[in-house]
Structure 1
Amino acid sequence: MSTVIKPEDRKPKAIRSGASRLNDKAKSVADEITAPVPPTEVAKVEKVQATSFAGEALKLGGKSDEEVRRLGTVDAADDVVETLFEERYRTANSPLHQAVWEKSTPIELFDTAQPLPPSEAAVPVMQKSLSILRRHRQANTLLDDKRKISDEVLNELGEAGYWGLLIDEEYGGSGATFTQFAQFLTDVATIDPTTAGLASVHGCIGAVDPVRTFGTPEQKERLLPKLASGERLSAFALTEPGAGSDLTALKTTAVKDGDSYVLNGEKLFITNVRPGRMIGVVCLIDDEPSVLVAELPEEQNEHFQLKKYGLYALKYAYNQGIVFKDFRVPAENLLIPDSGDGLTIAYHGLNRGRISLCANAAGTMRQMMADMLPWARYRRTYGEPIAKRELVERRLGHLAGLIVACDALTEWGSALLDLGFRGEMECIVAKVFGSEAQKEAAIELHMKTHGGRSFLAGHMFGDNIHDMLAPCIYEGEGEMLSMAFFKSLVKQHGMRYFEPIGRVLSESGIKQPNPMNPAHAWALKGPLMNYGRWWLGHQLSGHATFDLPDMPRELRPHAEYAAEFLSNSSSEISATMRKHQLKLADRQCRMAELSGRIQSAVVILCTSLYAARHDDELIRGAAEGICEKLTNDLTGRRPSDRYFKNVTKLGEKIADGGFPGLPKTGDEEIMMRYD
């Protein structure tokens, strides 16, 4: 939802001043993020990687040299991305990392909204774009004869400035803040989720972010105006037939030949690729991952072919493979980051894409709710509309909670990116929750309410189920991302306290440490004493401290519980690392489970704080419901009668009067009427 809370309307006052202190240089965030990295920083990253505990643990755990090398390459890329950000904005200083590992939870960093002044130039662009989409939706002209978003719609949006929202005004865009952009995507998704998704593909993970962040002044001057106007829509070609989550398996190559690079290889599952588009291509140049910006010709030829296949998901957009055979790309289109390589560029834009996915989910679920309401009012059983039945009321109330939580995570994550944070873990939370919420909403709430009619051709569910499920895979499969989340969360703790143990084990040849063995205990005395001091200090430091703002009494307990849960989780995380030691990398199920619990606590904290800033009774009621549901999941408690009463009462109000941000629908959308 795109409701904007003005700074002067936010409360309490202490939070406003806290946010101001955190970002006294907000206007120069882009410069801070892309500032050249000193050679000493790069050397530091390389040194850390060469001696990382993860590498030693994998070796001692019996992994092959090849697996150690490949995982080390990915870790190195991640480390270099960290150096692109100021120290205060890196993962170790992120709000989530502080909430877990520090006894003082930075509530002001979980309660941040609109940290940068919104771009005035972006407002009319957004309004005009929404008007275009509503007009085409009403006229049933969004799609062409191939059932894809029509070129007419794409071109009209280009004239309105839709494709240049994230591009600075000096290059023909409107310079929207990311908070503006993300909340706008929710509005777009209530009209058409595919068009919202294309904006993310183009602006976040397509060519726009790589050129904006890593391009030279000349490259920006030459390429960004084409991207801003929509003359060149864009995509990012990373995935290959044998390279998905394992980005080290890339086989596409480019060889320098005069003033060009000659590109050969195949890419797969590339959204928004068509002739005439601008594509960021990840390839190997001299065995190093690199990114070339390729401007595809208007027609396929012997050097560039599209590989088509049957794909159920993303059915209204083009998703195809690309085969390059001696395809020439100007050497001036090579993106060269100040440090790192092509994987660094690929990693950078993913977080924006993950927040956009959550924003899209919030809009798509509003579409589902808007589709459920007319049917629930129309469909009668035993003489009463099903809108009056508790099960349907509970579904509507729970769906409202999922929507508000996605709104909260979208606002929180995008605000952190605007402040200058890397936001790696925070954006993963938004992506995983948003995709899982949309899946639950589609199958457990939307489908079951419509019953057999949901499978009719032309029904929103039946026609779009694969698109509703695809976010669980795209931008990173949920459980894989949860493990990446866990790795980011434990990395500093592991390097500080467990990496020295790993080094001793490696040097002494101890395969499985046993503290009861005097030789082992003597060899490990230094690292173990260091860890023991941390453990004792952590146990004696008492409960977490946090300063919550003024909150409604029904929301405050949820915020308190979540903040305490996050602080207490550090002990369980460290105990898990102690227990599994060198085998931790193989305990994927435990890592994913523990990661999921921490993520749920983050959702509770952000959602309760978000709702406290809104006076809308429905938003607050929805937030209370989803927070209680997630708390019950964490504690193993059964739902109380009070919970059922509140959530069904909320559903009743929604059935009678709607919910904020819903698109307008009519009874004409009811299929196969029985009267």
Structure 2
Amino acid sequence: MSLDFEPSFNSVPQTPVPSSPAAENSVSTRRDSTETGAAGTESGGESFAEVALRLGGASADEAKRTGAIDTADDQVEDLFAEQYKTVSSPVHLAVWDTTVDTDLFRAKAAHLDTDVAAVSMRSLKVVRDARDNGTLYDERGKISQNVFQSLASAGYWGLLVGKEYGGSGASMRQFTRVITRMAMIDPTVAGLASVHGCIGAVDPLRSFGNEEQKQRFLPGLADGSRLSAFALTEPGAGSDLTALKTTAHLEGDHYIVNGEKLFITNATFGRTVGLVCKIDDRPSVLIAELPGEETENFHLNRYGLYALQHAENNGLVFKNFRVPATNLLRPPQGDGLTIAYHGLNLGRVSLCANAAGTMRMMLSEMLPWASFRQTYGQAIDRRELVQRRVGHMAGLIVAADALTNWCAGLLDQGYRGEMECIIAKIFGSEAQKEAAIELFMKTHGGRSFLQGHLFGDNVHDFLAPCIYEGEGEMLGMAFFKSLVKDHGKRYFEPIGRTLHELGVTEPSLANPSHLWALRDPMTRYAKWYTGKKLRSTHWVNEPSSTSMPASLQKHLRFAQTYLAASGIRISDAMRKYQLKLADRQCRMSALSSQIQDAITILVTAQAASDQVDEINRIAADAICRHLQRRIVGGHPTDADFRQMTRLGQRIADEGWHELDGSVAATILQSY
């Protein structure tokens, strides 16, 4: 939940894992060797983004800055074995390959091991008791120090720290499951675990720290004696990380830091931060321990912030601040940008997990209110509009669960998972926004704005995820750029370079010299295009008709068909706009959204087929219908309305096991 207001462009993966022979032999990793050999051979060392923007007419400065980010992305790819890179990711395969393993899109739920389960139970009890006793927040409305300390004793802050350093060593699937359950009690406490473990100092250290650094820092981060944050964003550097101005220079055995950070969640006196700065004009990361009080070399920049009201979120101002040289992290590939982006995928999945829990909290408050509130002598939970809202929120919840489990599982397997985690982040944040405004607020009416109401007191927190961890539409463009990058390098960059050498922006078919110069790249592209048109995508390991209801089978087929045709659809757009597509933000955003929705349908339908609870399956059917209409256009049919309202009525009448453990708030201004 509550994270830095993070940059929106290419994120970077989890710690790479060794190549496994089984994965190398799977259908999902096979690629045509003749195609693979053609990729990127003509780039001359420049990144694809820089080439595309420069050849497309962007300024030299913009091309260079974007190229720096894209180069960091390339360097991260080099950290991964071939079967875990972006071109072997489930999304990339579904769009570009002709043989796709359907099982790659199956969410595999996690079972908590004994240690993680014990930590989860203790932590949930701490927060539940504090909430019920009115001691969760201090006099400033922040999570109280007693709660922080009790959570430390419960082992909450060490969930993602390895057991050898005093933590629980939870997998991402296990971690996100805890996050969802915690968010049903308090989303801020849930989000702070992600800040600390995913984008704070924990992940940079466990992924890029040497053994001495891990031994020195991780035990304290695990036992909660040093909570952490990641100091990346600056007043003038958000999505454009090339604008970083914080610097550090070496004097003896210390780095001297000067600069300012802004919107840093969980950062206050006495915390540990991963500090992104420039050393010798190169982005770098230092592990910095903030002093316990203001000094002449460090102070907090405090400001009012409507969102993240229960968490510390401050600016950090450094003036000749000293950090031991031994605290510099040295990634095996790339520089500080590699480290900076590394935990974002973990954070994005955690955000979706948090949204799934927060929407459960909203629905838990909607149901008793809808049962209590009467209009014209009848409770509003008998009204179709309210039943539709209840049913739709249930659909949003099951889809968020499915995406969370799926993406967390991919990260646990060692996939980079960039595009998949972007889908989870965008869906989770937009679903939470829709649930809060269109479903929760409108059902509660004017009482939503009473002090003490869940909506009125937390509306900014419900909306903020659309911005942090990357603003949704900008992230959608990053998703699209990652999706087309390999295809563009193979087929469009050689054409663009040739046209640039000819001094033209478009070839003339009447000019023999143009045709001759373009003969090789055009032949390669024509071969790919013809093959893609003539060969239909073969999906293997599909669920049987006996294991998947017909309604979900229908959604599965739609998503498969849509994704299989998306490669041609995207390539046609690239051919139309050529390298200028890199600057066609609206078109990229539209194409990206449709593919994201198709992936969400595919994942949700498969996850629901594994569910025993009939309500979960019906809710999955409902959200898949909604997403399909969003892709192809059109309005809900009467059958769609009936299905949704009956689902809402059933949940109102019978309850729903997914809401077990939640506590409905007191109805305000009752009558």
1:394 aligns with 2:394: no
Output the CA distance in 1 between the equivalents of 2:213 and 2:664: 52
Query: What code does the residue aligned with 1:79 have?
Result: D
1:462 aligns with 2:456: yes
Other-structure match for 1:6: none
Contact 1:387–1:652 (8 Å) recurs in 2: yes
Output the CA distance in 1 between the equivalents of 2:607 and 2:21: 18
Cα displacement string for residues 304-357 of structure 1 (whole angstroms, at most 9, x for unaligned residues): 110011110000001110000000001000000011000000111100000000
Match of 1:558 among 526, 546, 555: 555
Cα displacement string for residues 190-230 of structure 1 (whole angstroms, at most 9, x for unaligned residues): 00000000000000000000000000000001000010000
Match of 2:580 among 577, 580, 583: 583
Query: What code does the residue aligned with 1:66 have?
Result: D
Q: CA deviation at 1:23?
A: 9.4
Output the CA distance in 2 between the equivalents of 1:388 and 1:104: 48
Output the CA distance in 2 between the equivalents of 1:568 and 1:545: 13
Q: CA deviation at 1:660?
A: 2.6
Match of 1:104 among 80, 99, 107: 99
Cα displacement string for residues 348-373 of structure 1 (whole angstroms, at most 9, x for unaligned residues): 11000000000000000001001111
What's the secondary structure of 1:105's corresponding residue?
strand
Match of 2:155 among 161, 164, 168: 161
What's the secondary structure of 1:324's corresponding residue?
strand
Q: State how 1:21-420 maps to structure 2 within 5 Å.
A: 21-22=22-23, 48=43, 50-114=45-109, 118-420=112-414
**Does the C-alpha gap of structure 1 residues 554 and 21 become closer, same or farther in structure 2, counting only changes over 3 Å?**
farther
Output the CA distance in 2 between the equivalents of 1:239 and 1:399: 33
Q: CA deviation at 1:664?
A: 5.0
Q: CA deviation at 1:103?
A: 1.8
Other-structure match for 1:602: 599
Q: CA deviation at 1:48?
A: 4.8
Cα displacement string for residues 224-268 of structure 1 (whole angstroms, at most 9, x for unaligned residues): 001000000000000000000001000000010111000000000
Normalising by the residue count of structure 2, what TM-score does the alignment of the two structures yield?
0.92
Contact 1:49–1:72 (8 Å) recurs in 2: no
Q: CA deviation at 1:666?
A: 6.2
What's the secondary structure of 2:184's corresponding residue?
helix
What's the secondary structure of 1:197's corresponding residue?
helix
Other-structure match for 2:4: none
Structure 1 window deviating more from structure 2 (510-519 vs 235-244): it is: 510-519
Query: What code does the residue aligned with 1:55 have?
Result: E
Output the CA distance in 2 between the equivalents of 1:114 and 1:370: 23
Q: CA deviation at 1:510?
A: 2.2
Contact 2:361–2:662 (8 Å) recurs in 1: no
Structure 1 window deviating more from structure 2 (234-243 vs 541-550): it is: 541-550
Cα displacement string for residues 278-320 of structure 1 (whole angstroms, at most 9, x for unaligned residues): 0001000000000000011111111111001111000000111
Other-structure match for 1:570: 567
Q: CA deviation at 1:506?
A: 2.6
Normalising by the residue count of structure 1, what TM-score does the alignment of the two structures yield?
0.92
Q: How many residues align?
A: 637
Output the CA distance in 2 between the equivalents of 1:322 and 1:580: 43
Q: CA deviation at 1:522?
A: 2.0
Output the CA distance in 2 between the equivalents of 1:311 and 1:513: 53
Other-structure match for 1:3: none
Cα displacement string for residues 401-460 of structure 1 (whole angstroms, at most 9, x for unaligned residues): 000000000000000000000000000000000000000000000000000110111111
Contact 2:152–2:224 (8 Å) recurs in 1: yes
Other-structure match for 2:5: none
Q: CA deviation at 1:63?
A: 1.8
1:450 aligns with 2:417: no
**Does the C-alpha gap of structure 1 residues 665 and 59 become closer, same or farther in structure 2, counting only changes over 3 Å?**
closer
Output the CA distance in 2 between the equivalents of 1:604 and 1:668: 33
Instruction: State the Cα RMSD in Å.
Output: 1.9
Query: What code does the residue aligned with 1:60 have?
Result: L
**Does the C-alpha gap of structure 1 residues 516 and 575 become closer, same or farther in structure 2, counting only changes over 3 Å?**
farther
Cα displacement string for residues 350-398 of structure 1 (whole angstroms, at most 9, x for unaligned residues): 0000000000000000010011111100000010000110000000000
**Does the C-alpha gap of structure 1 residues 515 and 233 become closer, same or farther in structure 2, counting only changes over 3 Å?**
farther
What's the secondary structure of 2:57's corresponding residue?
coil
Query: What code does the residue aligned with 1:419 have?
Result: Q
Other-structure match for 2:636: 639
Q: CA deviation at 1:122?
A: 1.3
Contact 1:447–1:454 (8 Å) recurs in 2: yes
Other-structure match for 1:652: 649
Structure 1 window deviating more from structure 2 (656-665 vs 183-192): it is: 656-665
What's the secondary structure of 1:174's corresponding residue?
coil
Q: CA deviation at 1:591?
A: 0.2
1:624 aligns with 2:621: yes
What's the secondary structure of 2:286's corresponding residue?
strand
Output the CA distance in 2 between the equivalents of 1:252 and 1:483: 27
**Does the C-alpha gap of structure 1 residues 153 and 515 become closer, same or farther in structure 2, counting only changes over 3 Å?**
farther
Other-structure match for 1:429: 423
Q: CA deviation at 1:45?
A: 9.5
Query: What code does the residue aligned with 1:59 have?
Result: R
What's the secondary structure of 2:294's corresponding residue?
coil
What's the secondary structure of 2:229's corresponding residue?
strand
Other-structure match for 1:513: 507
Output the CA distance in 2 between the equivalents of 1:516 and 1:450: 67
Contact 1:428–1:481 (8 Å) recurs in 2: yes
Other-structure match for 1:40: none
Q: CA deviation at 1:663?
A: 5.5
Query: What code does the residue aligned with 2:178 have?
Result: F
List alignment gaps of at least 5 residues for structure 1. Answer: 1-18, 26-43
Structure 1 window deviating more from structure 2 (181-190 vs 99-108): it is: 99-108
Contact 2:352–2:424 (8 Å) recurs in 1: yes
**Does the C-alpha gap of structure 1 residues 199 and 45 become closer, same or farther in structure 2, counting only changes over 3 Å?**
farther
The sequence identity of aligned pairs, in percent, is: 58
Contact 1:45–1:80 (8 Å) recurs in 2: no
Output the CA distance in 2 between the equivalents of 1:120 and 1:664: 20
| More contact order relative to length (CA 8 Å, sep ≥ 6) | 2
Output the CA distance in 2 between the equivalents of 1:665 and 1:511: 60
Q: CA deviation at 1:76?
A: 0.6
Contact 1:453–1:459 (8 Å) recurs in 2: yes
Contact 2:172–2:408 (8 Å) recurs in 1: yes
**Does the C-alpha gap of structure 1 residues 367 and 591 become closer, same or farther in structure 2, counting only changes over 3 Å?**
same
What's the secondary structure of 2:233's corresponding residue?
coil
Output the CA distance in 2 between the equivalents of 1:404 and 1:505: 49
Contact 1:52–1:499 (8 Å) recurs in 2: no
Output the CA distance in 1 between the equivalents of 2:173 and 2:661: 25
Other-structure match for 1:478: 472
Output the CA distance in 1 between the equivalents of 2:76 and 2:271: 27
Contact 2:23–2:83 (8 Å) recurs in 1: no
Query: What code does the residue aligned with 1:129 have?
Result: S
Output the CA distance in 1 between the equivalents of 2:95 and 2:42: 27
Output the CA distance in 2 between the equivalents of 1:668 and 1:414: 31
What's the secondary structure of 2:416's corresponding residue?
coil
